[in-house]
């Protein structure tokens, strides 16, 4: 016994001896710039720096500013106080490390806690923080929207995409303000017309929108992959606390070599946007990136203190399991603090209702738990959703930690993993290990109690068929049916967008299973009209794929990404079907909240590609029937009673479409929902 104890003490001491001393550093001082009591205080955490100099600028055009040496405390925080309230002043830090002299050229680093950012629009990310004195904003009684996760109907969307196309009718296209205009067919008006209750914004924290020039290099990286030199989606975060200034600029396109964001108007515009959505009963989620920072910028955390903020190999090189050139060391105490405080700041300052975390498996579990613990103190209903990839794949792990996660199982089982040789159920095929039993599990929320299931609760499963990544659902079906070949030129974009009868059937069948399954529901912008992404032709760009379908449009700030509402009108049949299914899901809680025992699956062994189940609530019973067979109808004898049709091959909603006969015929690639009143 004593020998074992002695060994344990020796082991603990050995671990301590090899522990990184930087992990012992922690500070509770407010970081960033703050204005109070007639002073402006600047603080930045840079524990391995030997010298830090604050530089302020009277005008953005000034290349030379006023410098102030900063003082380091015992916790690694560098500080400088200036007399006067310097609201609106721009500034940055020059950070020196051991072996570097005052003559060593150093970039001006952006304050990691900057609440507003001015950017000189180049790929090197020349940014300056703006001192912000937080002033009262008239929220007019607004607060968070508190909603059970099972009730979420999420619309994943990009600020610019929703109004940038002329068909949206927006007076200020591509902006926060344009998104919430009263007139027009795009933006908030389109979202309202669908009936969804939550929007999830692709990254809106200040990000690097310009990438390395094509065929140029930086630090050994050659840009051979992005002839557009753009990052449209925003997954290269520059500032965790500042709203993206680009969406506050009324530009047709991102201009280069100009200053952007100098007036910090994005702060007010972002709040106006959230308040407008809340007034309509729509919650606002943010897609956030806390696993890496902007790759090519020479003015961020990599220059402030790479040894502290990033995961490095034995030679001091950045690890990149994110695939983006650097991975944040989230397990560091002060990195964890920064992430948690960023989440809380968006909740408190901007009334954000929830978050989707990009490549969340790269965030350590202690930080995952701390985010949840602190965020739920502010809003117990805050939505926390993981993209459960990055250094592993673990949606089940996030569920055990009380988070939701994207459910790729239902996506792959229903539509398939890829449209060439990995097609799923709607095509009359079984992708991977999928079976009818797996479909039944998806209907119930893909619960861990089922063989191969993932989640502890249905609300943890974020069910989806399409996201910003990969082909749209509409294009997946176009390719899967062979109507468009991979790499094939699309000569007529409008004709390609219009659905054929069979394409329409598969889109509807996918939507029917998605919106009648337990779990949170997510659809991506344009999914409701089978949006097609055809790479826009621009002769200035060296892209041989122009005119073909795009499965990775992250770099195209053009009509490849913009929502064309003319295509929504062309496919109004599908749009109305989505509206009807959303209305059905919202009106009848049993589609969202049925318990495991309230779902009874029909044995339809004669029809191996058919799925049927009944749902019961207190005074109603519903029957859902779907048939993915390509040629054979399914004939189902109805249980006793009078059954009303709510969904058929053409229409969906809460209005009766007629009464069912004693035998319901479910045609190939279609489905139906029926309801009867139960007398007690």
How is 579-593 classified by DSSP, letter by letter? HHHHHHHHH-THHHH
Please tell me the predicted confidence (pLDDT) of residue 543.
Answer: 95
How many Å from the N-terminal Cα to the C-terminal Cα in the chain? 67
What's the chain's length in residues? 680
Instruction: State both tokens at 567.
Output: 């295509």
Within 10 angstroms of residue 268's Cβ, the number of other Cβ atoms is 15
Asked whether the beta carbons of 195 and 583 are under 8 A apart, the reply is: yes
Asked whether the beta carbons of 82 and 40 are under 8 A apart, the reply is: yes
Interatomic CA distance for residues 91 and 132, integer angstroms? 11
Give the position of tokens 């507003």.
116
Asked whether the beta carbons of 204 and 239 are under 8 A apart, the reply is: no
DSSP class of 426: G
Which CATH architecture is the domain 24-130 placed in? Answer: Sandwich (2.60)
Please tell me the predicted confidence (pLDDT) of residue 10.
Answer: 40
Interatomic CA distance for residues 303 and 265, integer angstroms? 28
Pairing, β 663-666 against β 634-637: antiparallel
Please tell me the predicted confidence (pLDDT) of residue 11.
Answer: 38
- Average pLDDT on 545-571 reads 97
Pairing, β 221-222 against β 670-677: unpaired
Mean pLDDT (the chain, rounded): 94
Residue 442's nearest CA partner among 456, 453, 430, 433 is 453
Please tell me the predicted confidence (pLDDT) of residue 680.
Answer: 59
Query: For 419-428, what is each residue's pLDDT tens digit?
Result: 999 999 999 9
Residue 109's nearest CA partner among 59, 42, 58 is 42
Give φ, ψ of 239 to 5 degrees. Answer: -145, 125
* CATH of segment(s) 149-206+230-243+262-290+326-587: 3.20.20.80
Q: Where do the structural domains in the chain lie, given as residue ranges?
A: 24-130, 149-206+230-243+262-290+326-587, 596-677
Please tell me the predicted confidence (pLDDT) of residue 644.
Answer: 97
pLDDT higher than 70, residue 16: no
Please tell me the predicted confidence (pLDDT) of residue 66.
Answer: 97
**515 compared with 126, residue with greater pLDDT:** 515
Q: How confident is the model at residue 135 (pLDDT cuts 50, 70, 90)?
A: confident
Query: For 527-555, what is each residue's pLDDT tens digit?
Result: 999 999 999 999 999 999 999 999 999 99
Instruction: State both tokens at 143.
Output: 């607060």
pLDDT higher than 50, residue 444: yes
pLDDT higher than 80, residue 618: yes
Query: For 587-603, what is each residue's pLDDT tens digit?
Result: 999 999 999 999 999 99
Please tell me the predicted confidence (pLDDT) of residue 297.
Answer: 87
Give φ, ψ of 221 to 5 degrees. Answer: -100, 125
Three-state secondary structure call for residue 567: helix
Interatomic CA distance for residues 525 and 163, integer angstroms? 12
Please tell me the predicted confidence (pLDDT) of residue 56.
Answer: 98
Q: How confident is the model at residue 91 (pLDDT cuts 50, 70, 90)?
A: very high
Sheet bearing 599-601, strands edge to edge = 599-601, 610-616, 620-627, 670-677, 644-647
Interatomic CA distance for residues 536 and 555, integer angstroms? 12
Instruction: Kindly report each contact of residues 344-350 with a partner whose C-beta sits within 8 Å and lies 24 or more positions away, as own/partner.
Output: 344/374, 344/375, 344/378, 345/241, 346/286, 346/288, 347/144, 347/375, 347/378, 347/379, 347/382, 348/378, 349/134, 350/243, 350/270, 350/271, 350/274
CA-CA-CA-CA torsion sign (180, 186, 189, 191) = negative
Q: Which of 71-75, 454-458, 636-640 has the lowest mean pLDDT?
A: 636-640
Residue 72 buriedness (CB in 10 A; 0-12 / 13-18 / 19+):
middle
Asked whether the beta carbons of 236 and 293 are under 8 A apart, the reply is: yes
Interatomic CA distance for residues 77 and 73, integer angstroms? 6
24-130 and 596-677 have identical folds: yes
Asked whether the beta carbons of 455 and 394 are under 8 A apart, the reply is: no
Within 10 angstroms of residue 193's Cβ, the number of other Cβ atoms is 13
Residue 575's nearest CA partner among 533, 531, 532 is 531
Residue 127's nearest CA partner among 117, 115, 142 is 117
**12 compared with 469, residue with greater pLDDT:** 469
Query: Residues 594, 596, 598, 603: what is their CA dihedral angle, to the nearest 10 degrees?
Result: 120
Interatomic CA distance for residues 561 and 156, integer angstroms? 13
pLDDT higher than 60, residue 216: yes
CATH superfamily entry for domain 596-677: Golgi alpha-mannosidase II (2.60.40.1180)
- Average pLDDT on 429-442 reads 97
Instruction: State both tokens at 444.
Output: 């119930």
Within 10 angstroms of residue 315's Cβ, the number of other Cβ atoms is 5
Within 10 angstroms of residue 492's Cβ, the number of other Cβ atoms is 9
Give the rounded distance of the alpha carbon of 641 from its chain centre. Answer: 45
Residues whose CB is less than 8 angstroms from the CB of residue 70 and which lie 6 or more positions away in sequence, other chains included? 42, 44, 52, 53, 54, 78, 79, 80, 93
- Average pLDDT on 18-28 reads 88
Please tell me the predicted confidence (pLDDT) of residue 183.
Answer: 86
Q: How confident is the model at residue 15 (pLDDT cuts 50, 70, 90)?
A: very low
Asked whether the beta carbons of 469 and 552 are under 8 A apart, the reply is: yes
Cα distances (Å, whole numbers) of residue 162 to 195, 471, 524, 530: 16, 18, 11, 15
Query: For 274-321, what is each residue's pLDDT tens digit?
Result: 999 999 999 999 999 999 999 888 888 999 999 999 999 999 999 999
Give the position of tokens 């603090």.
337
pTM: 0.95
* Element spanning 550, H or E: none
Give the position of tokens 């990969």.
470
pLDDT higher than 50, residue 3: no
Asked whether the beta carbons of 145 and 134 are under 8 A apart, the reply is: no
Please tell me the predicted confidence (pLDDT) of residue 299.
Answer: 83
Instruction: State both tokens at 19.
Output: 């522990």
Give φ, ψ of 435 to 5 degrees. Answer: -150, 175
Three-state secondary structure call for residue 629: coil
């Amino acid at each position: 016994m004593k020998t074992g104890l002695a060994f344990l003490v020796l082991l603990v001491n050995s671990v301590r001896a090899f522990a990184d001393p930087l992990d012992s550093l922690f500070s509770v001082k407010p970081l960033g710039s703050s204005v109070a009591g007639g002073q402006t205080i600047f603080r930045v955490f840079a524990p391995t720096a030997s010298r830090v100099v604050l530089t302020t600028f009277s005008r953005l055009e000034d290349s030379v500013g006023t410098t102030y040496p900063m003082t380091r405390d015992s916790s690694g925080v560098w500080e400088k106080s200036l007399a006067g309230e310097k609201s609106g002043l721009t500034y940055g830090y020059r950070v020196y490390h051991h072996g570097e002299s005052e003559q060593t050229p150093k970039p001006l680093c952006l304050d990691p806690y900057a609440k507003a950012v001015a950017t000189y629009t180049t790929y090197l990310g020349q940014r300056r923080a703006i001192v912000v004195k937080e002033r009262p904003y008239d929220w007019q009684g607004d607060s968070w929207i508190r909603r059970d996760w099972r009730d979420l109907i999420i619309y994943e969307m990009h600020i610019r995409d929703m109004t940038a196309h002329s068909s949206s009718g927006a007076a200020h296209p591509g902006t926060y303000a344009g998104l919430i205009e009263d007139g027009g067919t795009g933006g908030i008006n389109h979202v309202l017309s669908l009936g969804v209750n939550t929007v999830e914004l692709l990254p809106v924290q200040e990000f690097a929108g310009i990438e390395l020039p094509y065929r140029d290099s930086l630090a050994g990286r050659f840009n051979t992959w992005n002839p557009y030199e753009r990052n449209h989606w925003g997954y290269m975060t520059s500032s965790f606390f500042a709203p993206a200034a680009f969406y506050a600029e009324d530009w047709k396109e991102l201009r280069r070599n100009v200053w952007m964001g100098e007036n910090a108007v994005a702060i007010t515009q972002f709040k106006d946007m959230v308040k407008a959505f809340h007034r309509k009963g729509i919650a606002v989620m943010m897609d956030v990136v806390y696993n890496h920072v902007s790759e090519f910028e020479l003015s961020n955390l990599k220059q402030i203190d790479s040894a502290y903020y990033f995961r490095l190999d034995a030679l001091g090189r950045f690890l990149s399991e994110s695939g983006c050139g650097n991975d944040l060391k989230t397990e560091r105490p002060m990195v964890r603090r920064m992430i948690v405080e960023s989440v809380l700041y968006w909740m408190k300052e901007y009334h954000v209702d929830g978050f989707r975390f990009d490549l969340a498996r790269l965030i350590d579990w202690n930080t995952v738990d701390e985010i949840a613990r602190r965020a739920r103190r502010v809003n117990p209903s805050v939505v926390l959703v993981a993209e459960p990839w990055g250094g592993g794949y673990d949606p089940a792990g996030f569920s055990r930690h009380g988070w939701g996660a994207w459910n790729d199982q239902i996506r792959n089982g229903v539509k398939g993993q890829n449209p060439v040789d990995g097609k799923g159920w709607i095509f009359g095929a079984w992708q991977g290990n999928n079976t009818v039993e797996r479909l039944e599990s998806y209907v119930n929320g893909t619960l861990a109690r089922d063989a191969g299931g993932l989640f502890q609760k249905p609300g943890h499963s974020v069910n989806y068929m399409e996201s910003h990544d990969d082909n749209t659902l509409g294009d997946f079906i176009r390719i899967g049916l062979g109507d468009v070949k991979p790499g094939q030129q699309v000569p007529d974009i409008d004709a390609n967008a219009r659905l054929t009868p069979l394409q329409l059937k598969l889109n509807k069948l996918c939507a029917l299973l998605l919106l009648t399954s337990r779990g949170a529901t997510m659809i991506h912008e344009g999914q409701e009209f089978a949006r097609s992404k055809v790479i826009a032709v621009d002769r200035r760009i060296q892209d041989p794929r122009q005119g073909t379908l795009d499965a990775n449009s992250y770099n195209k700030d053009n009509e490849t990404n913009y929502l064309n509402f003319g295509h929504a009108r062309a496919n109004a049949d599908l749009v109305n079907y989505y509206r009807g299914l959303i209305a059905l899901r919202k009106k009848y809680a049993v589609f969202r909240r049925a318990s495991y025992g309230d779902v009874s699956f029909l044995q339809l062994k004669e029809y191996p590609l058919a799925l049927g189940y009944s749902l019961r609530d207190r005074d109603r019973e519903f029957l859902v029937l779907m048939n993915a067979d390509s040629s054979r109808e399914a004939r189902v004898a109805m249980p006793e009673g009078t059954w009303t049709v709510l969904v058929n091959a053409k229409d969906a909603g809460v209005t009766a479409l007629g009464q069912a006969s004693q035998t319901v015929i479910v045609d190939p690639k279609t489905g139906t929902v029926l309801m009867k009143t139960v007398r007690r």
